[in-house]
Amino acid sequence: MSRLTVLGTGLALAVTAALLNSLRAAAVALWPAEAISFANAWTHGLDLQQISATAPLTCFAYGLIGIAAIGFVVGVVYAWGYNQMHDVGRAQG
């Protein structure tokens, strides 16, 4: 097995998170009630209809930047940790 490219992995996760966030935003714009119902299934009984936004797409860019930044950091940390474990496994093997 080879090592992961730390920045490449971070970028890949950032792009993936941004694409998924964009798809979610499109679903909310096209089918708001169904999107809330779907999200309710993930919140263990919390009724998101009570706190739904009146204009959910107004902060789309801000959220997109935030989710991409978090994805990048998670990807970098994951790749770094993977590479550290990869090196440990090779040293013992």
Model confidence pLDDT, tens digit, residues 11-61: 999 999 999 999 998 998 899 889 888 888 888 878 877 776 666 667 888
Residue 1, domain member (yes or no): no
CA atoms within 13 A on the CB side of 45: 0
CA 25-29-30 angle, 5° bins:
120
Residue 13, domain member (yes or no): yes
Tally of domains within the chain: 1
| Chain centre distance of CA 47 | 22
Residue 67, domain member (yes or no): yes
Give CA–CA dist 36/89, Å, rounded.
Answer: 45
Q: Please give the structure tokens belonging to residue 13.
A: 């996760």
Model confidence pLDDT, tens digit, residues 51-70: 766 666 678 888 899 999 99
The SS3 call for residue 92 is helix
Does this model's pTM top 0.75? yes
